[in-house]
Amino acid sequence: MRESTYIHASRASRVITRWRGLGAILAVAFYSLFFAAHQQLQDTPVYLRDSVLFAAKTQTVFNSLTASRTEDHRGIGAEHPAFTLLHHAPAQALIRGWQFLGKDPVRARKHGIALLTSLAGALIVVMVYHALLWSSVASLRSILLATACGAGTCLWITAPLPEVWIFAGLGVAALAAVTARGTLSPWWLHLIVAVYAISCFIGNVIPVLLLAIARCAQESTLHQRFTPQPLLIALAALPLTFGLANLQRVIYPLSPPLPASLLTWKIPDASWSPIMENAGLASREVFLSNLVAPRAVATEPDPTFGNRRRVVLSEASWSRLDVQKGIGAAWLLLLSLAFAGLVWRAQLDPYALGIIAIIVWFLAALPWYGHPDRLLLLACLWTPAVVIATGLGLERSLEHWPKIKLPITLLLIAFVTAQLTKNWRFIQEAITQVRL
Question: In this predicted structure, what is the pLDDT of residue 1?
Answer: 35
Which residues are within 8 A (CB) of 11 and not within 5 positions of it... i.e. 6 or more apart? Answer: none
Q: Specify whether the CB–CB gap between 54 and 374 falls below 8 A.
A: yes
Amino acid at 51: S
Nearest to 168 by CA among 202, 145, 209: 202
What span, in angstroms and rounded, lies between the C-alpha atoms of 161 and 54?
A: 11
Question: In this predicted structure, what is the pLDDT of residue 372?
Answer: 78
Question: In this predicted structure, what is the pLDDT of residue 321?
Answer: 44
What span, in angstroms and rounded, lies between the C-alpha atoms of 357 and 176?
A: 12
Let me know if 303 is exposed, middle or buried by CB neighbors in 10 A (0-12, 13-18, 19+): exposed
**CB-based contacts of 193-197 (< 8 A; 24+ apart in sequence):** 194/233, 194/234, 194/237, 195/237, 195/240, 195/241, 195/244, 196/86, 196/170, 196/171, 197/168, 197/171, 197/172
Nearest to 360 by CA among 198, 244, 207: 207
Q: Specify whether the CB–CB gap between 157 and 59 falls below 8 A.
A: no
Q: Distance between the two ends of the chain, CA-based, in angstroms?
A: 57
What span, in angstroms and rounded, lies between the C-alpha atoms of 290 and 157?
A: 10
| CA angle (65, 199, 158) in 5-degree steps | 55
Question: In this predicted structure, what is the pLDDT of residue 16?
Answer: 45
Q: pTM score, two decimals?
A: 0.91
DSSP state of 301: E
Amino acid at 305: F
| Residue 299, strand partner residues | 311
What span, in angstroms and rounded, lies between the C-alpha atoms of 164 and 197?
A: 12
Nearest to 230 by CA among 172, 263, 201, 189: 189
Question: In this predicted structure, what is the pLDDT of residue 346?
Answer: 83
Buried b / exposed e along 357-388 (16+ C-beta atoms within 10 A): bbbebbbeebeebbebebbbbbbbbbbbbbbb
Amino acid at 402: P
Give the length of the chain: 436
Which residues are within 8 A (CB) of 5 and not within 5 positions of it... i.e. 6 or more apart? Answer: 399
Let me know if 306 is exposed, middle or buried by CB neighbors in 10 A (0-12, 13-18, 19+): exposed
Nearest to 311 by CA among 323, 325, 293: 293
Question: In this predicted structure, what is the pLDDT of residue 436?
Answer: 74
Question: In this predicted structure, what is the pLDDT of residue 322?
Answer: 47
Question: In this predicted structure, what is the pLDDT of residue 276?
Answer: 63
Q: Which residues of the chain have pLDDT under 50?
A: 1-13, 15-17, 316-319, 321-323
What span, in angstroms and rounded, lies between the C-alpha atoms of 365 and 212?
A: 20
